[in-house]
Amino acid sequence: MRLTLEVWRQADAASPGRFERYEVDGVTEEVSMLELLDMLNAQLVAEGREAVAFDHDCREGICGTCGLMVNGQPHGPQDFTPACLQRVRTFSDGDVVTLEPWRAGAFPVVRDLVVDRSSLDRIIASGGYISTATNAAPEALTMPVNKHQAEAAMDHAACIGCGACVAACPNGAAQLFTGAKVAHLAELPQGQVERYERVRSMVATMESEFGSCTNYGECVPACPAAIGLDVISHLNRDFRKAVVVERRGEVPERTDVPWLARLRGGPWWQSDPGDAGEHTER
Ligand code: SF4
Ligand code: FES
């Protein structure tokens, strides 16, 4: 099969980018999206031209580094599949395939198809640590975990941090990613000690670097790990409780985030079902 590739070329974040057209021949249907780029690069290098930069590491759907837009779809046309595992079998001989980097304000282009996703790392870093006993592994029975919660935690932990949810969102919001990370630890006993400080910090970092969620829901079909919208509800619920907990003085007030102070004084925190009848006055 012969494919025509329209590939975004850009020297760095400050330089203007453009699409360049290449022909790749001899593509078989087992070839993955990244192998297609390998084939293109082998051809470019043989011609003495500059190879296309793209991100990848594990090439088996684990690390989350391989994100790119394929014909306007995050990762490509196959559902629940990162770019490294997408096969070109959905294309036909003579098709034109457009390859672009993630488009989001929080992900500046480093080069060609590579973007800087360290803004996601900063959300994780702001979550801090968990307090737990270390050294020898404890007996499993000393910390029983409800089966449903254990399975939910595993489902949320499936997020590979690729950033497709941000790239798919018209607002460039990171609620699906942050929700998955918050919900994953909030389901487990080990995540309880710093639960509300963690969500407060992660949301503050998220809001400072990304757009805000307005429930488009574009993130869910883009996600290769099948993370569901329920994690955003979980995130909002825990964040609301975090402001109530702060209001009660159970965690120190954060004075470095002005909008948190405004929320603390608002009426919405009183509507939490777990706080009915409590704390109706400042
Ligand atoms: S939630 Fe899904 S799309 Fe977003 S970073 Fe995690 S795996 Fe990628
Ligand atoms: S290269 Fe690791 S998930 Fe694709």
Residues in CB range of 107: below 8 A, 6 or more apart: 101, 115, 116, 117, 119, 163, 166, 167
Q: State the span(s) of the chain assigned CATH 3.10.20.30.
A: 3-111
Residue nearest to atom 5 of ligand 1 (CA): 161
Among 173, 255, 254, 260, which residue's Cα sits nearest to residue 209?
173
Q: Which ligand is nearest to the CA of 84?
A: 2
Average pLDDT over residues 100-113: 97
Tell me the pLDDT tens digit for each residue of 171-198. 999 999 999 999 999 999 989 999 999 9
Q: Which ligand is nearest to the CA of 176?
A: 1
Cα gap 183→49, rounded to integer Å:
46
Three-class SS string for 2-35?
CEEEEEEECCCCCCCCEEEEEEECCCCCCCEHHH
Taking the chain, what is the end-to-end CA distance rounded to the nearest angstrom? 69
Residue nearest to atom 6 of ligand 1 (CA): 159
| Both structure tokens of 174 | 């990171």
User: In Å, how far are 91, 206, 258 from 187, measured between CA atoms?
Assistant: 41, 21, 29
Residue nearest to atom 3 of ligand 2 (CA): 61
Average pLDDT over residues 96-118: 97
Given a cut of 90, whether residue 122 has pLDDT beyond it is yes
Task: Determine the distance separating the centroid of ligand 2 and the alpha carbon of 76, expressed in angstroms.
Answer: 13
What secondary structure letter does DSSP report for 65?
Answer: -
Task: Determine the distance separating the centroid of ligand 1 and the alpha carbon of 83, expressed in angstroms.
Answer: 13
| CATH architecture of the domain with range 118-275 | Orthogonal Bundle (1.10)
101 lines ligand 2 (CB under 6 A): no
Tell me the pLDDT tens digit for each residue of 242-275. 988 887 888 888 888 888 877 777 665 555 545 4
- Right CATH for 3-111 from 1.10.287.610, 3.10.20.30, 2.60.40.1760, 3.10.129.10: 3.10.20.30
Tell me the pLDDT tens digit for each residue of 68-98. 999 999 999 999 999 999 999 999 999 999 9
The predicted pLDDT at position 255 comes to: 81
Q: State the span(s) of the chain assigned CATH 1.10.1060.10.
A: 118-275
Average pLDDT over residues 156-184: 98
Cα gap 52→49, rounded to integer Å:
9
Dihedral sign (CA 273, 275, 281, 282): negative
180 lines ligand 1 (CB under 6 A): yes
| Both structure tokens of 270 | 């009183």
